[in-house]
Structure 1
Amino acid sequence: MNGDWFRVGKIVNTHGVKGEVRVISSTDFSDERYAVGSKLMIRVQTNEEISVTVSHHRIHKQFDLLQFEGYFSINDVEKFKGCTLYVSSEYLTDLDEDEYYYYEIIGCSIMTDEGETIGKVKEIVQTGANDVWIVQRNSGGKDILIPYIDDVVKDISISDKKITIHLMEGLLE
């Protein structure tokens, strides 16, 4: 497939017998990504890429449940368990200033406003109130949780893959 592809989730299991799959989402716009008619790509274990179109989306517990056009039974989707879902860059919409896609933040270096490099963002968790960035320390040890709030995050440079934070008391503990 042509173009850049960005990970939006992992199919962790089937759901029911009518071809639904259970997805752990890694996208910040799941309603948009999984809207009926959305085109996604599944990369199966053989590195084969399968284009699918979302025919149904609902949320169940902490999972996104998806059904694809032409896949009507559990037997049709069994092969997708453990596979990763991707969206083409052509379907990404422009964001407002000071808004970022997860893929732009993950991998960025985190530095304090005093110049100390702490680590890299390895994952983002939605908490409802604000996103929390999970940062893998350069020095090893326990990951650091950085809340994406104005008091902490001072500057984001996607082009340099660098984020400057103000280290509030207790953040590194």
Structure 2
Amino acid sequence: MFFYKPWFIKYKNKWKNIQIKQWKNYLNFFIIKIKGFNNPEDVKILTNVKIFVDSKDIVSLNDNEYYWKDIIGCQVINLQNYNMGKIYKIIETGSHDVLEITSQKNDFFLKKKRLVPFIYKIIIKKINLKKKIIQIDWDPSF
């Protein structure tokens, strides 16, 4: 995470480049020192802002590894060829990620969203990022 540089934040509708001077892991959190911020009170203005990196600067992944940004927005089709909707977001749970799928307006099962565990080869059968389609083994009535 800290080898991705530079970092950008959107603050007051402007993109700002931030530079990390140092960092450490503390109790499952990261503590970072940002250049130009010298005490905790100064950095409070950055609370709850999102951090971005340019996608051209991220590392290429191995086969069967995916960035969330590539998965979000994919159509989800089950083995019976039922379109379950699109991936709206991904939830990190610790044991495995969970896909939040928003249904199509004409969804027969009238589910507005579904939560499906991202368990590769067991539930997630095939991922085609070029077509933005993920095939899963999942009953749409869940």
Instruction: Bin the TM-score by the shorter chain.
Output: 0.7 to 0.9
- Once the two structures are superposed, residues 14-63 of structure 1 have per-residue CA deviations (whole angstroms, 9 ceiling, x without a partner) of xxxxxxxxxxxxxxxxxxx235x842001112x211111222243546x5
Partner of 2:86: 120
Structure-1-length-normalised TM-score: 0.68
The counterpart of 1:146, out of the listed 106, 116, 140, is 116
Contact 2:76 2:83 survives alignment (8 Å): yes
Which whole-Å CA distance do the structure 2 matches of 1:103 and 1:34 have between them?
A: 18
Partner of 1:71: 37
Partner of 1:27: none
Q: Secondary structure at the match of 1:83?
A: coil
Amino acid at match of 1:166: D
- Shift in Å, 1:64: 4.2
Q: Structure 1: state its 5+ residue gaps.
A: 1-32
Q: Given the alignment of the two structures, is residue 56 of structure 1 paired with residue 23 of structure 2, yes or no?
A: yes
Which whole-Å CA distance do the structure 2 matches of 1:100 and 1:67 have between them?
A: 29
Partner of 1:101: 67
Q: Structure 2: state its 5+ residue gaps.
A: none
CA RMSD of aligned residues (A): 2.3
Which whole-Å CA distance do the structure 2 matches of 1:86 and 1:122 have between them?
A: 19
Q: Secondary structure at the match of 1:129?
A: coil
Give me the identity figure in percent.
24
Structure-2-length-normalised TM-score: 0.81
Q: How many residues align?
A: 136
Q: Given the alignment of the two structures, is residue 166 of structure 1 paired with residue 137 of structure 2, yes or no?
A: yes
Contact 1:126 1:132 survives alignment (8 Å): yes
- Shift in Å, 1:94: 0.8
**Moved segments of 4+, more than 6 Å:** none
Which whole-Å CA distance do the structure 1 matches of 2:112 and 2:30 have between them?
A: 29
Matched ranges for 1:74-93 at <5 A: 74-93=40-59
Contact 2:23 2:30 survives alignment (8 Å): no
Which whole-Å CA distance do the structure 2 matches of 1:81 and 1:91 have between them?
A: 24
Q: Secondary structure at the match of 1:145?
A: strand
Could you say if the C-alpha distance between residues 118 and 98 of structure 1 is closer, same or farther in structure 2, counting changes exceeding 3 Å?
same
- Shift in Å, 1:156: 0.7
Q: Given the alignment of the two structures, is residue 34 of structure 1 paired with residue 2 of structure 2, yes or no?
A: yes
Contact 1:34 1:57 survives alignment (8 Å): no
